[in-house]
Structures are given as C-alpha cells and as structure tokens.
Amino acid sequence: MPKPETVAGQPCPLCHKKTLTLMEEDTEVPYFGKVYIFSMTCSDCKYHKADIEAAERKEPCKYTFEISSENDLKTRIVKSSEATVKIPHITTITPGPAAQGFVTNIEGILKRVIYQIESARDTAEDDADKKKAKNMLKKLTKIMWGQEKQKIILEDPSGNSAIISDKAEKSTLKVK
C-alpha cells in the first residue's frame, strides 16, 4: 500500500505557527471506487480538518437506508465534508466550515451522535432538555441493539458520498 504524501511545517490557519502537517492519500473503497483523503493537523494547537473526494466526478446524490438489525451497523459509509446526514426525529448533521469528510460505518455515525447528545445532556440546565436527551439516548440504544428500526439519509450535492449496501436506496439529489 502506498504511503500517504505528507508536507510538514506549514502555517496553521488557526494559531499561525508552522506546525501544520498536510496529508494526501489515495485509496480504493470497495463498491465505491478510488478516493482521495485529505487532512491537515496542527501539532501545536491540535487544529484538524479532513475531507474525502471521489476520483471521478459524480452526480449529486441521496442515499436512504433503513437500519433494522445489529448487522446493519457494519454498513460502510463514505461521507464528504459537503454531505448532510439526517437521522429523522433524532438529528441532522449539516455541513459547515468545520465539517469533516470520512469513511466509517453506520455504527460510527451513531456513536458520534450519541457522544453529542450525551454532551448536550451533561451541560443542559433545563430538566426538559435533559429528559429529551435521555429519551433520544434510549432510542439510539434500541436502534444499535436491533430492537428498533431507523432511517438514515445521506445527501451530498458533490456526489462524493455513499452508503455502500444493496439495501441502500440511491436517488438523484435535487440541488436548490
């Protein structure tokens, strides 16, 4: 496997010290194709940004997948920094300046959401907010144990994302 190309000693966009390392790597994702993974990490202030891009130009896409068993948690997801992840009635992860691109699986996405909800619960001052977070965490636990079905929707105007499964429904995303 080829080593990633790295360039060290670059100026960090946050702390402006020359402690930023840029990394670029190309890899093959089964059933998706060749992708380029980019990242930058500052060894001083710990700034980090990552993205993923398909080697070939793709059409804006939307994937819908129903999580109905524990086995579905292993389903591979390629998410670019431009993609929106929707978990209806739970949360929406929208792209923004700090958005990351990554390759993970459905379990990885759900664990990120659980971490965010736990953080919100732990800092909430209102009892109603704490109760809402607690109920969402119960629902997510049931989903991860295969006891409750849940849709997950991935929308990407760049087309650089995918849910890699025969169960995933792919459609063209209507870009506004």
Map out the domains of the chain with their CATH numbers. Answer: 1-56 (2.20.25), 57-176 (2.60.120.1040)
Helix (H) or strand (E) holding 149: none
**Pair of tokens at residue 108:** 């990885």
Specify the amino acid at residue 14: L
* Mean pLDDT of all residues belonging to the chain: 91
**Pair of tokens at residue 9:** 């000693």
Cβ count within 10 A of residue 15: 14
Q: What pLDDT is recorded for position 138?
A: 96
Q: Give the tens place of pLDDT for each residue, 125-172.
A: 999 999 999 999 999 999 999 999 999 999 999 898 999 999 999 999
Supply the angle between the helices 106-123 and 127-144 in degrees, to the nearest 10.
160
**Pair of tokens at residue 15:** 């702390």
| Reported pTM | 0.79
Band of pLDDT at residue 103, cut at 50, 70 and 90: confident
